[in-house]
Structure 1
């Protein structure tokens, strides 16, 4: 099943959506590998027209790549996925990844020429390693910092003492609240949405839910504002077994809206 509206061929597409069912390092809930197929299914219930953008994604060159291969070795999977994303970027496509665990974002931002990484997340994800892996879902932002990128973490409210300390000391880590997010300060960002940035009332079916999150309206406004500048986008950590489909519908809507607001088409 293709993502709704992603009916164009690869060669003419400006935007390419790819599932990435990596589910190797989850530390609380397993099952994010089932999200890409469920998100595609959810997308079929949505209108392809986005009124606020006055655009229909059926009229935007948009292609569904299928799924990027994933296996139990997170590092090897990321290195493989990075190559896939780099190929998309080299072909002048904007890659859109549907996870899978948050680790897939490392392949996303390393495969693009992103000047910065904007991460919407309840957690800082700044651990050097977690449970023996430097490619854990809890280390995503740390890998981006070590690459030399400026990392903007928006909506974080959970982390270890060491992570908060690292964030305060690092010149490349910038903590933001949603009301302090200024799209104009970003030139070519890679944008990542960990769905646990939302309050669990909006999306209970995520890998690691955290209370006191934002609403869907707040998140959608932020993603829409960044979409025209973004060189890549992902939305991760939907865990279908732990909800009634809320996270999958939010994910599908985010992908559709990203395409609509990023595009110059009608």
Structure 2
């Protein structure tokens, strides 16, 4: 579990609510149903219009990565590639067939199978790069759903604020109606800015970081497989792949 994400979200709400309390406010003042409906509903509606269904579904499926990101073990991956290269050096590329069959990572398994099949290095690079960039693009697009929602939320908060002020201006003759209108106006703005900057934008950036780390791992695997295909010795491959640890 990514403890830092959990701490960050908790700290964000503690800071906001704690600051409100120290200023003499109370939690009830920040709870406003109409404001929440305007901001959350409007933000989701904008995201629905922008994102295709497949992208939105992918965004929902990877949101758990904020707390439970896929494990990416670069050191372990390098050691596995070195093991493959030593097997290929001793037994030839056909010796990797059993390794390919037992490999749990689909991307690495596909590369190993291409080695076993005797594909040329350029063909291996072309095939694996298509997989790498397609998956990366798909996941980055999913992360951008939250980024776009982070852009819409403050603006929709302003729309809520304007609607609240319109309500206030229309009821100047009735002082009892002024309080609710002013509350919607200010709370909607708070909701829009807070959701964008404390949740949506950080979520988008965290997901992008996870996706890029996965892509770095796949690039490392790709370079390792190409080096094996070109007959490089295990020590040279290890020195090359260590550059991905930066």
TM-score norm. by structure 2 comes to 0.21
Richer in helix (by share): 2
Richer in strand (by share): 1
Give the greater-gyration-radius structure (CA). 2
TM-score norm. by structure 1 comes to 0.20
